[in-house]
Amino acid sequence: MDQIIVTGNGPLSGQIPIAGAKNACLTLMPATLLSEEPLTLTNAPRLSDIRTMTTLLQSLGAEVQALQDGQVLAMSSHDLTSTRADYDIVRKMRASILVLGPLLARFGHAEVSLPGGCAIGARPVDLHLKAFEAMGAELDLRDGYVHAKAPAGGLRGGIVDFPFASVGATENALMAATLAKGTTVVKNAAREPEIVDLAECLRKMGAQIDGEGTSEITIQGVDRLGGATHRVVTDRIELGTYMLAPAICGGEVECLGGKIDLLAAFCETLDAAGISVEETPNGLKVARKNGRVSAVNVTTEPFPGFPTDLQAQMMALLCTAEGTSVLEERIFENRFMHAPELIRMGASIDVHGGTATVRGVEHLKGAPVMATDLRASVSLILAGLAAEGDTIVSRVYHLDRGYEHVVRKLESVGARIERVKEQ
C-alpha cells in the first residue's frame, strides 16, 4: 500500500483547480438507468469511487465509456441485462444504493444488496426504502438484499416525508419519482448543491421537477426520459479542503472554480477563525488575515449548515488555533477517528460522544499516522503541512476515493509532499 509523506515547510502560494463533485457524480451516473437514451457527464472527477460506480453500472449491462482521461463519462442504458446489484460491488461503496430508485422506476423491480456500514457509521438505508413504499413499492429484505417490486402499473406518485434531510434518500426518491404515475412531494428534502445538480440534469432529460434546493421538492411523473449532456457541479468538499491549506500553513491560494454559495456556512466559520476568502473571476482566493488562527466552534448540519464532510479538515486547522474550539458532529455517529491520529502529532483533543474539544497548540509535530476514512485521511495531510518534520500517512487508498491528484495539486502551490510505496 502507498504512503504519503508531508513535510511542513511554510506558506503556500499559487492556484489549485477544483474538480467536479464526487457526490454529485455518484448520483448523476445512476440517472442513466432511467432512460434508453445516452447520458453524457462532463467535468467528471477521476476517482476510485467513480470507477466503482462504473463497474456497477456495467454489471447491469449499461455502457459507460470514460473519455478525455476520465473527465467525460458517455453512458447508455439502452440494453440493460440485469436489475440486480451484487454485494461484491455494493459493499465497496454505499452510494451503490442509488441504482435502486432508477431500476425500480424504469423496470418495476430490482434487487440491490444492502450496502452495509462503513468506518463513520452504520449508514442504514431505511429512509430510502420508506420513500419507495410511499410510491407503492413492496420491499422485502432477505439474504442481505433489498428485493423491490413496483405495483403492476408502475410506481405511483406519493407523499414522502423524511424525519430528517437524508442526502441519498432524497436523491433516490427524486430519481424514482421522475417516472412514477402522478405527483410526488418530498418533504424535509435535503438541500445540498449535489441534489440541485441532479435535478437540473433530470430536467434536461425531460423530468418535471420543482423546488430542488429547498426542503420541499415536487415531481410530476412522465412516461419516459430522454438523453442529455450535463456538466458535474464543482466539488464543494474538495474546494473547502484546499481552502484550508493556506489557512493551516500560511500564504495565499486561489481555488479555481470555487464559489462562495457552495460553502457559505464554511466560509463564515473561516472568517470567524481569521481567514480571508475573496471571490475572484476564477474562483476563491484564501489567506490568513494575520498571525495565528482563532479558535471557533463548529456544529455539522445538513446543507446549508456546516458540512460534516469538512469537519475533520476543520479540526486539523483548529489544532493550532489560539484558544479552545468545540466541534459537534451531528450527522454521523463515529466521525472523529482522525482525532487520535492528530493527537499523535501533538494535538490536544478530548472526544466525548459527538463532541470534540480542541485546545490549540503552538505547533504540531510530524509523525507516522493512519488514514481511517476518506475525509480523515486528508485532514492528516493538512495537519502535516503545518507540522514540524515529516508526517507519514498510511492507507492512502482512502484518499483515492475522493481526491484526484492530491500530491500534484499541493506540490503545485509549494507543499513538500510525495507519494511512496509503503516502507
Buried b (16+ CB within 10 A) or exposed e, 155-178: bbbbebebeebbbbbbbbbbbbbb
Report 302-321 residues binding ligand EPZ (CB under 6 A): 308-309
Is 23 one of the binding residues for ligand EPZ (CB under 6 A)? yes
Q: In what order do the strands lie in the sheet with 138-142?
A: 84-85, 109-113, 145-149, 138-142
Nearest CA-CA partner of 318 in 353, 355, 348: 348
Closest CB to ligand EPZ among residues 308, 320: 308
Which residues are catalytic, by number? 118
Q: Contact with ligand EPZ (CB under 6 A): which of 32, 113, 166, 377?
A: 166
Is 83 one of the binding residues for ligand EPZ (CB under 6 A)? no
Cross-strand bridge partners of residue 252: 13, 287
DSSP 215: S
Specify the stretch interacting with ligand EPZ by CB under 6 A; choose among 69-77, 104-112, 161-169, 347-355: 161-169
Asked whether 310 and 241 are in contact (CB, 8 A), the reply is: yes
Is 89 one of the binding residues for ligand EPZ (CB under 6 A)? no
Specify the stretch interacting with ligand EPZ by CB under 6 A; choose among 10-18, 21-29, 55-63, 290-298: 21-29
Specify the stretch interacting with ligand EPZ by CB under 6 A; choose among 59-67, 149-157, 165-173, 216-224: 165-173
List, in sequence order, the alpha helices (H) in 67-192. Answer: 87-90, 100-107, 126-134, 167-177
- Euclidean distance between CA atoms 240 and 245, whole angstroms: 9
Binding flags for ligand EPZ, 259-298, as an x/- string (CB under 6 A): ----------------------------------------
Report 119-138 residues binding ligand EPZ (CB under 6 A): 121, 123-128
- Over its C-alpha atoms, the chain yields an Rg (Å, rounded) of 22
Is 218 one of the binding residues for ligand EPZ (CB under 6 A)? no
Is 90 one of the binding residues for ligand EPZ (CB under 6 A)? no
Interface positions with ligand EPZ (CB under 6 A): 22-23, 26, 94-95, 121, 123-128, 166-169, 308-309, 331-332, 374-375, 402
